[in-house]
Amino acid sequence: MLHFYACFCATLPFIGVILADYGSSWKEQRRFALMNLRNFGMGKDSMEERIHGEIQYTVDTLEKSIGKSFSPQNMFHNAASNIICQVLFGKRFEYQDETMKTLVQCFTENAKIANGPWAMLYDSFPLIRSLPLPFRQAFKNVEPGDDRSSFSEAQLTMYILDLHFAGTDTTSNTLLTGFLYLMNYPQVQERCQQEIDMVLEGKDQASSEDRNNMPYVQAVIHEIQRVANTVPLSVFHCTTKATELNGYSIPKGTLIIPNLTSVLNEEGQWKFPNEFNPENFLNDQGEFVKPEAFMPFSAGPRMCLGEGLARMELFLFTVTLLRKFKFIWPEDAGEPDFTPVYGVTLTPKPYRMKVQLRVSQKIPNL
Ligand code: HEM
């Protein structure tokens, strides 16, 4: 079966990193990205400072919304986009910047088109592929230039788009899912806040190292990632040689679709596979444990290149915002709907939130 994804690859051979074929060009580009992301601060204190800088804009947005019911969608997309922009371009963009608005809209649009019903029709009926139907928009959103060598202007452009997309839609949708659950499980929210208050007492701000002293918060963030299931079918790959698996022969070049949804909900791997329950990541002593089946970033040589950055963002955003605000499901919002909108990334259905300043916080300068 030739899938829409594969057609994406066929249109953009060797371009970027996410959809690049496994081979020397991908290896070269992955090494290049990791080296540069490290040089520009991924995994270092300077990255924490950039993340905290961006969180301050989120805090300002929330402070202006105190007591009102508002939609947090753009707020989290913009924040995640700006963090990766600071690595890629050395600057952040105002949330009203037109280029940024267009880019983020293209990302969210493509994340839905690429696994949506039009992509399935594209896969099933080759005759319709050249027709001006909605799937054409996805190709238009990522049109490359002409130069296609491993290090070229077109490659660099696509690379930046890949990192920007991969670093925006994933983290923001995880945060959106997280706050949807935290509002609807107030006892979980409060227990996080107690732990945060205790561990950060007298400190200006959280740092990644505080994770080690916050087993409950760690468990909650991991449980959020498990239920958010942000990249349900990971990224499609091909077998590079003929392979045997559980008695099945898989020829070289077969399209492989990893099913992360299955592993994140697998009966027998989780204490509570079908409910939101941080106990999935706590042992009897209340210590944080990470089961093997936790793989929202996938596994193997192609696993997420931004895991370290994503984990830092999820921790610092969750802790800083929960320390300062109480998140409330608005009275007139009706029953929460946890069913996600399907795409390459899962997105919670649009929802509204309310915030209150917390009174019990002991934060010197925030
Ligand atoms: C919660 C946030 C995130 C999740 C759940 C996530 C998940 C994933 C998954 C499942 C893959 C596919 C791995 C595979 O093909 O086996 C992937 C690939 C990738 N991710 Fe992430 N990701 C996140 C954040 C980020 C961030 C912040 C960046 C930015 C630096 C990033 C950059 C990438 C890149 C470049 C790839 C392609 C790697 C390759 O093919 O070699 N991701 N991610």
Sort 135 into a burial class: Cβ within 10 Å, 0-12 / 13-18 / 19+.
Answer: buried
On whether 85 is known to bind a ligand per the annotation, the reply is: no
Secondary structure letter of residue 335 according to DSSP: S
SS (H, E, C) 58-118: HHHHHHHCCCCCECCHHHHHHHHHHHHHHHHCCCCCCCCCHHHHHHHHHHHHHHHHCCCHH
Which pLDDT belongs to residue 349?
95
Q: Is the pLDDT reported for residue 351 higher than 60?
A: yes
For 348, the 3-state DSSP assignment is strand
Q: pLDDT (tens digit, 9 = 90+) per residue, 300-319? A: 989 998 999 999 999 999 99
Which one-letter amino acid corresponds to residue 184? N
Q: pLDDT (tens digit, 9 = 90+) per residue, 256-308? A: 999 999 999 999 999 999 999 999 999 999 999 999 999 999 999 899 989 99
> What is the rounded distance in angstroms from the CA atom of residue 297 to the CA atom of residue 108?
19
| Mean pLDDT in residue range 218-237 | 96
Question: Comparing 18 with 142, which gets the higher pLDDT?
Answer: 18
pLDDT above 90 covers what percent of the chain?
55
> What is the rounded distance in angstroms from the CA atom of residue 180 to the CA atom of residue 330?
11
Q: pLDDT (tens digit, 9 = 90+) per residue, 66-118? A: 989 999 988 999 999 999 888 888 888 888 888 878 878 877 877 777 767 77
Burial 33-62 (b: 16+ CB within 10 A, else e): beeebeeebbeeeebbebbbebbebbbebb
Q: Is the pLDDT reported for residue 3 higher than 70?
A: no
Which pLDDT belongs to residue 149?
53
CA angle 110, 176, 117 (to 5 degrees): 30
Q: Is the pLDDT reported for residue 148 higher than 60?
A: no
Q: Is the pLDDT reported for residue 11 higher than 50?
A: no
Counting ligand 1 atoms within 8 A of each CB, the residue from 170, 303, 344 with the most, and so the one to mutate, is 170
16: left (phi over 0), alpha (psi -120 to 50) or beta: left
- Average pLDDT score, the chain: 86
Q: pLDDT (tens digit, 9 = 90+) per residue, 41-66? A: 666 778 899 999 999 999 999 999 99
* CATH number assigned to the domain with residue range 2-357, chosen from the 4 options 3.40.50.670, 1.10.630.10, 1.10.600.10, 3.40.50.300: 1.10.630.10
Question: Comparing 15 with 347, which gets the higher pLDDT?
Answer: 347
Q: Are 309 and 42 in contact (CB under 8 A)?
A: yes
- The 10 Å Cβ neighbour count of residue 328 is 16
Instruction: From residue 53, give the alpha-carbon distance in Å to each of 70, 248, 320, 364.
Output: 23, 51, 12, 17
- The 10 Å Cβ neighbour count of residue 332 is 6
- The region of weakest confidence among 64-68, 144-148, 251-255, 357-361 is 144-148
CA of residue 282 to ligand 1 center, whole Å = 26
Which pLDDT belongs to residue 2?
38
Instruction: From residue 118, give the alpha-carbon distance in Å to each of 92, 126, 128, 208, 322.
Output: 34, 12, 10, 41, 39
C-beta 83 within 6 A of ligand 1: no
| Mean pLDDT in residue range 18-43 | 76
> Which atom in ligand 1 lies closest to the alpha carbon of residue 296?
5
C-beta 346 within 6 A of ligand 1: no
| Cα 8 from chain centroid (whole Å) | 21
C-beta 172 within 6 A of ligand 1: no
Q: pLDDT (tens digit, 9 = 90+) per residue, 331-344? A: 999 999 999 998 88
How confident is residue 124, by pLDDT bands cut at 50, 70 and 90?
confident
Within the chain, strands assigned E span 237-238, 243-245, 248-250, 255-256, 325-328, 340-341, 347-348, 354-357
Structure tokens at 261: 């949804």
pLDDT above 70 covers what percent of the chain?
87
- The region of weakest confidence among 64-73, 111-120, 158-167, 175-184 is 111-120
CA of residue 116 to ligand 1 center, whole Å = 20
Q: Is the pLDDT reported for residue 155 higher than 80?
A: no
- The 10 Å Cβ neighbour count of residue 19 is 22
> Which atom in ligand 1 lies closest to the alpha carbon of residue 30?
41
CA of residue 274 to ligand 1 center, whole Å = 25
Q: Closest Cα to atom 18, ligand 1: which residue?
A: 304
> What is the rounded distance in angstroms from the CA atom of residue 91 to the CA atom of residue 99?
14
C-beta 162 within 6 A of ligand 1: yes
For 236, the 3-state DSSP assignment is coil
CA of residue 162 to ligand 1 center, whole Å = 10
| Cα 175 from chain centroid (whole Å) | 8
Which pLDDT belongs to residue 190?
98
Q: Is the pLDDT reported for residue 356 higher than 70?
A: yes
C-beta 30 within 6 A of ligand 1: yes
What are the structural domain ranges in the chain? Answer: 2-357
> What is the rounded distance in angstroms from the CA atom of residue 105 to the CA atom of residue 93?
15
Which pLDDT belongs to residue 42?
67
> Which atom in ligand 1 lies closest to the alpha carbon of residue 80?
27
> What is the rounded distance in angstroms from the CA atom of residue 349 to the CA atom of residue 343?
12
Q: Are strands 248-250 and 340-341 parallel, antiparallel or unpaired?
A: unpaired
Which one-letter amino acid corresponds to residue 254? T
Assessment of whether the complete model's pTM goes beyond 0.90: no
Instruction: From residue 275, give the alpha-carbon distance in Å to each of 172, 188, 264.
Output: 22, 13, 12
Q: Is the pLDDT reported for residue 1 higher than 80?
A: no
